[in-house]
């Protein structure tokens, strides 16, 4: 019983500063959830290769934008960013459903992932030379 309490205190001591730091950046991590399995077709979570081809940047449109592990709405969420957070564009793809997504890095972090172009204030990276 005593070992369990010690482990819980250790986890709290490690996790609490990390959560406070992410809140200060206006970047929130998603809650733990079961991964989507067995998804196929337009809803499949793919992970296309990407490279930094763009010098562009933008912010979330509306109140926030969701950064995902792949260019599809069913891919796991990496972070959610508010409109005050700068996103550095790398390149873009068109997914199997015909939607454009931009690969980004969140300013001040090493967090990167895919954002649906209509969720970006300027429509994301779309220049043909910036295609992944």
pLDDT at res. 12: 42
What DSSP letter does each residue of 40-106 carry, written as one string?
-GGG-------------EE-BSTTEEEEESSSSTTSPEEEEEETTS-EEEEEEEE-TTS-EEEEEEE
pLDDT at res. 37: 37
pLDDT along the chain (132 residues), means of 10: 44 39 42 38 75 90 95 95 96 94 96 97 92 94
pLDDT at res. 43: 56
CA distance 58 to 107: 10
Element (H, E) at 10: helix 2-24
From 3.40.50.2300, 2.30.30.40, 3.30.160.270, 3.40.920.10, which CATH number describes the 48-130 domain?
A: 2.30.30.40
Q: Domain limits of the chain?
A: 48-130
């Amino acid at each position: 019983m005593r070992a369990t309490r010690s482990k819980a205190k250790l986890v709290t001591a490690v996790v609490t500063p990390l959560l406070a730091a992410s809140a200060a950046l206006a970047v929130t991590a998603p809650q733990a959830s079961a991964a989507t399995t067995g998804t196929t077709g337009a809803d499949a979570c793919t992970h296309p290769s990407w490279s930094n081809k763009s010098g562009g940047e933008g912010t979330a449109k509306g109140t926030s934008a969701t950064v995902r592990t792949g260019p599809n709405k069913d891919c796991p969420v990496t972070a959610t960013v508010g409109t005050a957070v700068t996103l550095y564009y790398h390149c873009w793809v068109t997914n199997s459903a015909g939607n454009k997504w931009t690969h980004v890095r969140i300013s001040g972090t090493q967090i990167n992932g895919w954002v649906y172009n209509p969720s970006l204030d300027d429509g994301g990276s779309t220049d043909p030379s910036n295609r992944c």
